[in-house]
Structure 1
Amino acid sequence: MNPTQNFDNSQALILIVDDLPQNLQVLGSILRKNKYQIAVATNGQQALDVLNNISPDLILLDVMMPGIDGHEVCRRLKEQERTREISIIFLTAKSETADIVKGFELGAVDYVTKPFNATELLARVKTHIELKKNRDVILNLNEKLEEKNKILEKLAVTDSLTRIFNHSHIIDRLSNEICAAQRHSDSLSITMFDIDHFKSINDTYGHQVGDDVLILVTNTIKDALREIDIIGRYGGEEFLVVMRKTDRKGCFIASERIRKQIEALTWEQEKLHVTISGGIGTIEGTEETAATMIKRADECLYLAKENGRNRIECGEID
């Protein structure tokens, strides 16, 4: 299907630039009869001024004008991002190859020689108007495709329920942060959080309540973090938080604050009480990897559960 097959000429705006009133009259008459909208300028400077306020689909530009000639107008328009893509057809009394080539080198798409032949003029105008409209359609489709691709890219790294990073992406981010911390000799810590007795919550109150718990716990943790921190859903009821430029003690303080905020949450279900346990891992040495940091955090998390849950374990703080 041709995207311009239903195109109405009255939708197209053409700027005519010529210093001779009779040329403006002839061109305007031809184009108006074919339902094109017309704007005019009588010299190069006026054309540049007019183009500050309108964005035509096509410019018919006389080459020989006093002051700023057509070639210079074209050069300036092609230098500006806002006007760079406007198609320009030169109007010229010259038919020498050198002049025609110069026009194309400056960025013109076509030329029409004087005196004007109405049939030829309309054919060239129609061609370039339709090309412009086709470009607009393609550009619009590309923009929509880019938007959809961005959505798909986000979905590929996002957990569908909690809207935070999913397992694979939070691991990738942790690996990147370890490299950055090692490169700049920065501290880096992680906390592995786990919702206590989550299976029991699902069994007692149902999976919808379980989902509500996951979402509210996620949002509570997110709200307590700094902008530079990163959170992801590591597993079913487990969350991995990466804290940049944070040592073991700082991570423990931040994690303990989060634990208390979760413990203080209130729920519609009168007997529901949600707590979390946490285990901390801190970067150690140049051979550190995401796997080794997570292993240490997981060991501390296991210790927190063994010691009664609803607590943070981090090993010895210097």
Structure 2
Amino acid sequence: MVEDLAIVIVDDMQYSRAVLRTTLNRIGYTDVRMAASASEALVMMSDRRAEVVLADWVMPEMNGLELTAEIRRKDEQRSHYTGIILFTGKEGDEAMMEAFRHGVDDYLTKPVNQIQLAARLFAAGRVARLQNKVLETSAALSATNHQLEFLSTTDPLTGLPNRRAMDKRMEAAIMETCSRGGALCLGILDVDHFKRINDLHGHDVGDEVLILIARRMRLALRPMDMVARMGGEEFALVAHFHKSEKCDPAIFERVRQTISDEPIPIPEGGITVTASIGVCCYQHGEEMPTIQTMTRLADQNLYRAKSEGRNRVVG
């Protein structure tokens, strides 16, 4: 008994195809499809993949080596591996080496010996399944790593980047400003009297307020700017300008206005929310700051905004 394989026979001779299928059925393989040309086989395999292809070397239009190259190209696109065995009347080491150089897994001379075919087919099928298992595992690991990276850099409540992601963006923006010019502005935003919202309306409403504020901030900034949640009701706004003369901290004034202009709807009606923002800017030609330095200066300006009455931008 053998483990069944998805096999495609490719031969322009109908009699040869029929003999091969009969032989394979006798060995125990039942999932056998037949193609009269390489192009027909490729269409067949695009509908349903094969684990092993048995192909004649010499065929009109596209020979076995050209078919092998096309299968390998499509396999690479689809993260799949197909075992390929060529049949030929050619004898000698030179023909065998040519086949292997073109990516063939195995090579049999005609007339095909049934025992040799069974052994080679078993080996090719085992290799194909092992390779595909490796590819599946690798794809699953890659997807898991991407998901873990997303989770590690994303705030679960608002969907915004978190502090870790902000630090990475700031580091890249500082280096770009230092080496290529331009300017970088960091704003630290704090929602005014947020504890009062939680106390009066509950934490569920407080969460909804933060989610809506996050959306408003995102819409108020340019697509290339970054909004990140630092924690609690505090957010970071990162804006990079390619030319120093276009550096305009007033971009954060637009964020403040967007938050406060319209009440945030809640089941009880609406809440008017304001925010205070402290800003720190770095321009090309100045001493290169650290992320910690810029954050500290922006925090100091945020405390000034709070002490001067809140609902303002200080930079």
The TM-score with structure 1 as length reference comes to 0.83
Q: Deviations over 1:132-153 (max 9, x none)?
A: 2333333223222211110101
**Alpha-carbon distance change, 227 to 51 in structure 1, aligned in 2, over 3 angstroms:** farther
Q: Is the contact made by 2:7 and 2:54 (CA closer than 8 Å) also made in structure 1?
A: no
Is the partner of 1:283 in helix, strand or coil? Answer: strand
Offset of 1:297 from its aligned partner? 1.7
**Which residue, out of 28, 35, 45, partners 1:40?**
35
Secondary structure, counterpart of 1:159 in structure 2: coil
**Aligned twin of 1:282:** 281
In the aligned structure 1, how far is the partner of 2:61 from the partner of 2:229? 67
> What secondary structure, in the 3-state scheme, does the structure 2 residue paired with 1:234 have?
strand
Give the structure 1 partner of residue 21 of structure 2: 28
Deviations 1:95-154 (A, max 9, x none): 422322222222111122322222332332233234323333332232222111101011
What amino acid is aligned across from residue 267 of structure 1 in structure 2? P
Question: Which of 94, 98, 105 is the matching residue for 2:101?
Answer: 105
1:287 is paired with a residue of what secondary structure? Answer: coil
The separation in 1 between residues aligned to 2:2 and 2:115, in whole angstroms, is 21
Which amino acid is 1:50 matched to? E
Alignment check: 8 A CA contact 1:31 1:38 kept: no
**How many residue pairs end up in the alignment?**
302
Task: Return the TM-score normalized by structure 2.
Answer: 0.84
Specify every segment of 5 or more residues in structure 2 that has no aligned partner in the other structure, as ranges: none
Matched, 1:258 2:242: no
Once the two structures are TM-superposed, the CA of residue 24 in structure 1 deviates from its matched residue by: 2.4
- Equivalent position amino acid for 2:192 in 1: D
Identity %: 31
Structure 2 vs 1, CA of residues 135 and 85 (structure 1 numbering), >3 Å: closer, same or farther?
closer
Aligned residue number for residue 197 of structure 2:
201
> 1 CA distance for matches of 2:288 and 2:118?
72
Amino acid at match of 1:239: F
Once the 2 structures are TM-superposed, how far is the Cα of residue 194 of structure 1 from its aligned partner?
Answer: 0.5
RMSD of Structure 2 on Structure 1 (CA): 2.9
Q: Structure 1 23/155 Cα, relative in aligned 2: closer, same or farther at 3 Å?
A: same
Aligned equivalent of 2:265, options 258, 264, 267: 267
- 5 Å matches for 1:64-143? 64=58, 69-71=63-65, 73-75=67-69, 77-78=71-72, 81=76, 85-143=81-139
Distance 1:7 1:151, change over 3 A: farther
After superposition, what is the alpha-carbon deviation per residue over 1:159-211, rounded to whole angstroms, capped at 9, x for unaligned? 22222122232123112101101211112212111000112222222222222
Q: What residue number does 1:14 align with?
A: 8
Change (3 A) 1:72 1:235: closer
Name the residue aligned to 2:294: 293
Distance 1:188 1:24 in 2: 69
Deviations 1:63-109 (A, max 9, x none): 35567654455456556655994322121334422322222222111
State the match for 2:44 in structure 1.
54
Kept after mapping to 2: 8 A contact 1:74/1:108: yes
Aligned to 1:234: 230
Structure 1: runs of 5 or more not aligned: none
Moved more, 150-159 or 272-281: 272-281
Residues of 1 paired with 2:2 and 2:264: CA distance?
A: 60
CA contact 2:162–2:230 (8 Å) conserved in 1? yes
User: Any conservation in 1 of the 2:42–2:71 contact (CA below 8 Å)?
Assistant: no
- The secondary structure found in structure 1 opposite 2:209 is helix
2:218 maps to 222
Residues in 2 aligned to 1:286 and 1:107: alpha-carbon distance in whole angstroms: 57
Over 3 Å counting, the alpha-carbon distance change for 1:248 and 1:192 in structure 2 is farther
CA distance in structure 1 between the aligned counterparts of 2:83 and 2:110, rounded to whole angstroms: 19
